[in-house]
Amino acid sequence: MSKALFLGDEAVAQAALDAGLSGVYAYPGTPSTEITEFIQNSKQGKAGEVHSIWAGNEKTAMESAIGMSYAGKRAMVCMKHVGLNVAADPFMNSSITGANGGLVVVVADDPSMHSSQDEQDSRYYAKFALIPCFEPSNQQEAYDITYYAFEMSEKFRTPVLIRLTTRLSHSRSGVERKAERPQNPLNVEKDPKQFILLPANARRHYRKLLDKQPEFENDSLNSPFNQYIDGADKSMGIIASGIAFNYLMENFEGGKCPYPVLKISQYPLPTKLIAKMVDECGKVLIAEEGYPFIEEQVRGVLNRTGNIMGRLSGELPRDGELNPNLVAKALGLPDTYGAPVPELVVPRPPALCVGCPHIDSYTALNKAMEKYGKGKVFSDIGCYTLGALPPYNAIYTTVDMGASITMAKGAADAGMSPCVAVIGDSTFTHSGMTSLLDAIYENTPITVLILDNSTTGMTGGQDSHALGVLGEICKGLGVKEDHIHRINPLKAHLDENVAIIEKELEYQGVSVIIPTRECIQTLSRRMKKQQAAKK
Amino acid sequence: MKIDIILAGVGGQGILSIATIVGAAAIKRGMYMKQAEVHGMSQRGGDVQSHFRLSDQPIASDLIPLGKADMIISVEPMESLRYLPWLKKDGWLITNDQPFVNIPNYPDFDALKAELAKVQNCVAINADQIAKDLGSARSSNMVILGAASPYLQLPYEEIENAVRENFARKGEDIVNVNLACMKAGRELAEKK
């Protein structure tokens, strides 16, 4: 079969389709978004043969996928690393229920934080949940692993985690496909106790999960994705996982590394292979993208011999992505470098687009806040986070999805006044609604701006669950109707918008202001499509 | 044969279509390819780059090591200089010389030109003007691709075919103007 060019994300998506997927559940998040988009744009996605509509957040996505697995069909959940924090509750418990239909959780980590707030490593979550974990090193392996993950999930009746990292998610290469498998028929879980996690059942299931651990490790030991490649020079052995394996091999012409190499792409760790390497080689260098996950396990807390090297011992940096040069230095090979960057080259940070409605919202908010001084606006995760940068300097916090409203509440509880929250429409339905309910319940004096650009903007314009219903949601939650305002964020309306914000800042209760104007990116895309249709 | 290219520009300038076209031509020849892209936050007007690797042997890393890139192809002059640490000593820098100014502290244009002139093998052309003269201001990336084409080690006709295929669904006029832009860029580079 000929090779198709796929991003790592797309390779995962295609493999899931070929493996007989019935539904993907996800909330957009860089670098994972393209997996679900690929399925939405596929033949099966468009025809509605595979469910692929965006979920409200990662937790609802995970739960829907568990439900589909319960019904006997194959389900996949996709998210970025911090999304797994949101989905952690159902994720952890899914390891106790186990899977009926194949259940695969794909998490794309973002080491170096290209588009994220932290660089947490999802392999810890798989270990925490005691389930198998895969870490593909290239696009073909991303395909092969995903295809196998569904098989393994059904064989061992367990959810399986696939961990991607940014460079694999967003790098393109040729991929060969396998034969298409049909979807599972509806086949509801036969054991009536399997998915009821009452303590008595859960204890029994947990024991079963513990009993499966040696089988999981045995699968890792015999996995084609884990390879022990022998080398003549036993003065050092190298363990390289995921994409770090590529950076290692880049340093040797034709991939001929003189040292023994253990490539890891499946966990739990194959202890026997690691023991073999430690026994045969004087010292072991461990290269992994993300946290020193393998290194911590191999060296233990004492590491009395000091023969395990990697991110903890300083041969490789403790934080950030790896690259071929960092691995070369750790190997003691000469580093390469071109000319330095000329001094006149300055950073070009991302910025709000020309014509973005958030610009007008921040102009109005800044004007209304002038008399109150700095530090009183809490914000959230989205394009509007760029309001932290000049020339706006409009917001003072960004922590996690939904935190703007609850942090404003906490600060108001502490006696700060006024307290303003700025959150996007999609982020609000993702995690802001329960936060707002907390404030309504106590009638906390906060002013919430829900910037409604009618899309999930930062990740490229996915549909927002809040479309057209934000006012109704706020009213339904209990915000008083005369303290809910829709405003039009345009220069022409600046004065009236400022007046509305000023008035609500003085109100000693919960008010919601909804600046409403479509994202300039989705608008121009829509216009182009309309024009093309006219021709 | 092996060629490693850093593609550079500002989010939204269309550096990825250059990679798509060259990639399609290379894949047709049965070559291996890896192309690391930048998605997400930086696409909002920030600096973006793509590591683009072609080889007749399997490629290990998705990222090009520092000092090993054969070429920098850039649609913006300051962005082209940002990646000099990747360019090898005798490598080529092909860039549009028209600044894209969306930051308040953008460097002085003359100083920027002087800095480009210091690069040993540099082709800097006004791709915006050429594209505009040919009636498609948005096709300056194709002018830059044309200027880079003599150094790509791929037959020019095969790149032309890839351009045809890439723009086919947009109609014959769009195909032709993009081919013309690419050719103009190539001719200018050959004169330099």
A380: closest CA of chain B, how far (Å)? 15
Q: What is the pLDDT of residue A254?
A: 84
Q: Which of A312, A330, A348 is the last residue of a domain?
A: A330
Indicate if A106 and A204 belong to the same structural domain. yes
Q: What is the pLDDT of residue A1?
A: 46
Query: Would the CB atoms of B39 and A338 count as touching at under 8 Å?
Result: no
Planar angle of CA A488, A417, A419, nearest 5 degrees: 40
Q: Which residue of chain A has the CA closest to B106?
A: A346
* Residues of A in Cβ contact (< 8 Å) with B61: 246-247, 249-250, 323-324
Strand bridging mode B32-36 / A171-175 = antiparallel
Q: What is the pLDDT of residues A171-205, one digit of tens each?
A: 999 999 999 999 999 999 999 999 999 999 999 99
**CB-CB: which of B89, B105, B115 is closest to A346?**
B105
Q: Is the pLDDT of residue A128 over 60?
A: yes
Q: Is the pLDDT of residue A511 over 80?
A: yes
Rounded mean pLDDT of A315-332? Answer: 97
Q: Is the pLDDT of residue A222 over 50?
A: yes
A347: closest CA of chain B, how far (Å)? 8
* Residues of A in Cβ contact (< 8 Å) with B35: 171-173
Query: Would the CB atoms of B67 and A350 count as touching at under 8 Å?
Result: no
Planar angle of CA A426, A428, A432, nearest 5 degrees: 150
Q: What is the pLDDT of residues A387-427, one digit of tens each?
A: 999 999 999 999 999 999 999 999 999 999 999 999 999 99
Q: What is the pLDDT of residue A371?
A: 96
Do residues B174 and B142 touch, judged by C-beta distance below 8 A?
A: no
Q: A194 in contact with B at a CB cutoff of 8 Å?
A: no
Is there a domain that residue A423 lies in?
yes
Query: Would the CB atoms of B38 and A459 count as touching at under 8 Å?
Result: no
The enclosing domain of A293 has a CATH number of 3.40.50.920
* Residues of A in Cβ contact (< 8 Å) with B91: 338
Is there a domain that residue A212 lies in?
yes
User: Distance between CA atoms of A246 and A472, rounded to whole angstroms?
Assistant: 52
Q: Which token pair is A104?
A: 């695969």
Q: Return the closest-CA partner of residue A362 out of A267, A212, A498.
A: A498
Kindly report whether the peptide bond that precedes residue A132 is cis, defined as omega within 30 degrees of 0.
no
Indicate if A375 and A473 belong to the same structural domain. yes
Q: Is the pLDDT of residue B10 over 80?
A: yes
**CB-CB: which of B87, B102, B112 is closest to A339?**
B87
**Between residues A472 and A304, the one the model is more confident about:** A472
Indicate if A252 and A123 belong to the same structural domain. no
Q: A7 in contact with B at a CB cutoff of 8 Å?
A: yes
Indicate if A321 and A373 belong to the same structural domain. no
Is there a domain that residue A335 lies in?
no
Query: Would the CB atoms of B39 and A30 count as touching at under 8 Å?
Result: yes
* Residues of A in Cβ contact (< 8 Å) with B88: 338
Query: Would the CB atoms of A351 and B82 count as touching at under 8 Å?
Result: no
Q: What is the mean pLDDT of chain A?
A: 96
Q: What is the pLDDT of residues A420-457, one digit of tens each?
A: 999 999 999 999 999 999 999 999 999 999 999 999 99
> Which candidate in B16, B59, B61, B86 is best for mutational testing of the A interface (most A CBs within 10 A)?
B61
> Which candidate in A10, A110, A112, A171 is best for mutational testing of the B interface (most B CBs within 10 A)?
A171
Q: Which residue of chain B has the CA closest to A4?
A: B27
The enclosing domain of A198 has a CATH number of 3.40.50.970
Residues in CB range of B119: below 8 A, 6 or more apart: A339, B84, B87, B93
Indicate if A518 and A483 belong to the same structural domain. yes
Q: Return the closest-CA partner of residue A191 out of A74, A104, A98.
A: A98
Interface of A with B in 35-94 (CB under 8 A): none
Q: What is the ipTM metric for this complex?
A: 0.93
The residue type found at A330 is A
Q: Is the pLDDT of residue B116 over 80?
A: yes
Query: Would the CB atoms of B60 and A351 count as touching at under 8 Å?
Result: no
Q: Is the pLDDT of residue A293 over 50?
A: yes
Query: Would the CB atoms of B41 and A350 count as touching at under 8 Å?
Result: yes
Indicate if A232 and A180 belong to the same structural domain. no
Rounded mean pLDDT of A487-492? Answer: 98
Indicate if A242 and A387 belong to the same structural domain. no
Query: Would the CB atoms of A173 and B34 count as touching at under 8 Å?
Result: yes
Indicate if A27 and A166 belong to the same structural domain. yes
Question: If DSSP codes are grouped into helix, strand and coil, which group holds residue A162?
Answer: strand
Q: What is the pLDDT of residue A127?
A: 98
Q: A342 in contact with B at a CB cutoff of 8 Å?
A: yes
Q: Which of A198, A221, A244 is the last residue of a domain?
A: A221
Do residues A159 and A103 touch, judged by C-beta distance below 8 A?
A: yes
* Residues of A in Cβ contact (< 8 Å) with B51: 171
Indicate if A216 and A272 belong to the same structural domain. no
Q: What is the pLDDT of residue A535?
A: 66
Is there a domain that residue A337 lies in?
no
**CB-CB: which of A30, A336, A346 is closest to B107?**
A346
Q: Which residue of chain B has the CA closest to A116?
A: B41
> Which domains, from first to last, does chain B contain?
2-191 (3.40.920.10)
Q: Please state the domain count of chain A.
A: 3
Rounded mean pLDDT of A374-385? Answer: 97
Indicate if A238 and A215 belong to the same structural domain. no
Q: Is the pLDDT of residue A265 over 60?
A: yes
Rounded mean pLDDT of B80-108? Answer: 96
**CB-CB: which of B10, B40, B47 is closest to A30?**
B40
Q: What is the pLDDT of residue B14?
A: 79
Q: Which of A313, A330, A347 is the last residue of a domain?
A: A330
Query: Would the CB atoms of A346 and B68 count as touching at under 8 Å?
Result: no
User: Distance between CA atoms of A48 and B137, rounded to whole angstroms?
Assistant: 40
Q: Which residue of chain A has the CA closest to B11?
A: A350
> Which candidate in A345, A386, A459 is best for mutational testing of the B interface (most B CBs within 10 A)?
A345
Size of interface A-B (CB pairs under 8 A): 157
**Percentage of chain A modeled with pLDDT above 70:** 99
CA B127 to the chain's CA centroid = 11
Q: What is the pLDDT of residues A48-77, one digit of tens each?
A: 999 999 999 999 999 999 999 999 999 999
Q: Which domain, by its residues, includes A257?
A: 227-330
CA atoms within 13 A on the CB side of A338: 27
**Between residues B167 and B11, the one the model is more confident about:** B167
Q: What is the pLDDT of residues A333-365, one digit of tens each?
A: 999 999 999 999 999 988 899 999 999 999 999
Indicate if A280 and A427 belong to the same structural domain. no
**If you count them, how many residues does chain B have?**
192
Is there a domain that residue A499 lies in?
yes
Q: What is the pLDDT of residue A200?
A: 97
Indicate if A281 and A325 belong to the same structural domain. yes
